[in-house]
């Protein structure tokens, strides 16, 4: 049965959800408080990452976070602050960062990433779009034996999950990445991954949705939500009052605030990431992550993007030049012939990624409200998991059997 659906949030998750819902014949409206041209969906590394099987809430991450807390140039920076939501999230993160919980989440993260990669390939082949998409894998470059051993341990675990992974010497890497001078010891090569140019796909999917009857409402912030009998009856935005059969909350780092209005507890903290683009030819052909620096390198359509850092410091879009400088220094360290100019660094952008305490997204309905579906908390994998999340939400709203077991993504798991 066709339903009217309001999607709150116009990032990759919201737009992919709109795509699959309109394919099912629903009447879809997407609203966002921005003009659909900025945010994490536009400045990310563009990775589709079956290789990222270890969640952010990994054992040892707490200790690293404490060690890096006083260093604003560190790859993972937690800004200490007396904020109740942050303290609750930190406690939940600590409880989640156990070996057994991370082990349990590995096949879950791998399966949703593989589903999403297959769906991106379907989108590419559908004729609806013409976007840059390549499956060239992902190199994890390391400069020290310790980092190499740690990454190869993850690589061996990925092999057990059926992924193709190779541990390469520097010489073997240079046979693949022939035109780039690399200052590394070696690289762990995951063949499973793909990459894209995010702003290109975002523009195309918006155009497609508008052409196919989806209403796109810009600059409409949700100010109030009316609930009766465990159902949203209407939402009030900057300029409108809107009623609908179903609602989807895909508001990324802002999702917790809307959830509170419904009495739903979804602990989310904003994890700020930065990206810098170089339009000059770098000769980089394979996406890479610089292990020690946690910097992602992506050859996109017409430019190379360097993205990185995880800064848990609340909702703000302040660009910290120290963190941008740390990315530039890391690039120079790994790629001695590549320099990020002052002008390129000054043009750096940031986006806020919604981080759940256990590294898994929230996908599904809450017992507190019958006609709202959540699609948030994807952390660094928002781009990777856009189509899979959209498909799963569409299946929920269309009362179809689900492509994956949704239990690990339960919205009420922290209640």
Structure tokens at 28: 């879809």
For residues 24 and 18, what is the distance between their CA atoms, to the nearest angstrom? 10
CA-based nearest residue to 375, from 90, 20, 36: 20
Indicate where the chain has its CATH 3.30.9.10 domain(s): 47-194+268-355
* CB of 14 closer than 8 Å to CB of 39: no
pLDDT tens track for 225-266:
999 999 999 999 999 999 999 999 999 999 999 999 999 999
Residue 65 has pLDDT above 80, yes or no: no
Dihedral (Cα; 221, 226, 229, 233), 10-degree rounding: -70
Strands (E), 117-256: 133-134, 138-142, 165-169, 186-190, 194-196, 215-217, 222-228, 231-237, 241-242, 246-249
pLDDT in the model for residue 17: 98
Helix axes 386-397, 99-125, angle to 10 degrees: 90
**If one looks up domain 47-194+268-355 in CATH, what number appears?**
3.30.9.10
Which of the following CATH numbers is that of domain 4-41+201-262+359-409: 3.50.50.60, 3.40.960.10, 3.30.465.10, 3.40.50.880? 3.50.50.60
pLDDT tens track for 115-129:
999 999 999 999 999
> What percent of the residues of the chain are helix, what percent strand, and what percent coil, each to the nearest 5?
35, 25, 40
Q: What is the mean pLDDT of the chain?
A: 94
359 vs 70, more confident:
359
Overall pTM surpassing 0.85 (yes/no): yes
CB under 8 Å to 232, separation ≥6 — which residues? Answer: 225, 226, 244, 247, 262, 369, 371, 372
Indicate where the chain has its CATH 3.50.50.60 domain(s): 4-41+201-262+359-409
pLDDT tens track for 257-271:
999 999 999 999 999
The confidence band for 68, taking pLDDT boundaries of 50, 70 and 90, is low
pLDDT tens track for 148-173:
999 999 999 999 999 999 999 999 99
For residues 407 and 394, what is the distance between their CA atoms, to the nearest angstrom? 16
Share of the chain above pLDDT 90, in %: 89
């Amino acid at each position: 049965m066709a339903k009217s659906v309001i999607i709150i949030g116009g990032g990759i998750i919201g737009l992919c959800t709109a795509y699959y819902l309109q394919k099912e014949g629903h009447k879809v409206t997407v609203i966002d408080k921005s003009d659909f041209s900025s945010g994490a969906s536009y400045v990310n590394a563009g990775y589709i990452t079956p290789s990222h099987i270890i969640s952010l809430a990994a054992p040892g991450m707490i200790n690293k976070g404490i060690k890096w807390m006083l260093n604003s140039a560190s790859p993972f920076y937690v800004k200490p602050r007396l904020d109740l939501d942050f303290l609750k999230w930190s406690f939940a993160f600590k409880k989640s960062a156990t070996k057994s919980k991370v082990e349990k989440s590995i096949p879950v993260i791998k399966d949703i990433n593989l589903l999403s990669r297959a769906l991106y390939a379907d989108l590419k082949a559908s004729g609806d779009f013409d976007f840059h998409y390549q499956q060239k894998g992902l190199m994890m470059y390391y400069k020290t034996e310790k980092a190499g051993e740690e990454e190869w341990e993850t690589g061996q675990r990925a092999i057990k999950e059926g992924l193709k992974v190779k541990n390469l010497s520097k010489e073997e890497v240079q046979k693949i990445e022939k035109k780039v001078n690399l200052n590394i010891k070696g690289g762990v090569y995951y063949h499973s991954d793909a990459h894209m140019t995010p702003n290109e796909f975002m523009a195309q999917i918006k155009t497609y949705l508008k052409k196919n009857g989806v209403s796109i409402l810009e600059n409409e912030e949700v100010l109030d939500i009316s609930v009766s009998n465990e159902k949203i009856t209407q939402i009030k935005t900057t300029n409108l009052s809107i009623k609908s059969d179903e609602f989807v909350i895909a508001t990324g780092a802002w999702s917790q605030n809307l959830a509170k209005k419904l009495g739903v507890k979804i602990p989310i903290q904003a994890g700020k990431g930065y990206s810098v683009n170089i339009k000059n030819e770098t000769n980089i052909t394979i996406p890479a992550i610089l292990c020690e620096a946690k910097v992602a390198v992506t050859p996109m359509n017409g430019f190379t993007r360097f993205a990185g850092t995880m800064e848990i410091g609340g909702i703000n879009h302040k660009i910290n030049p120290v963190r941008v400088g740390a990315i530039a220094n890391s690039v120079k360290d790994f790629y001695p012939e590549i320099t990020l100019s002052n002008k390129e660094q000054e043009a750096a952008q940031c986006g806020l990624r919604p981080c759940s305490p256990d590294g898994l997204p929230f996908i599904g309905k809450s017992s507190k409200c019958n006609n709202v579906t959540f699609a948030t908390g994807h952390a660094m994998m928002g781009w990777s998991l856009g189509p899979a999340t959209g498909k799963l939400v569409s299946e929920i709203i269309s009362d179809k059997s689900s492509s994956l077991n949704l239990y690990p993504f339960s919205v009420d798991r922290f209640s």
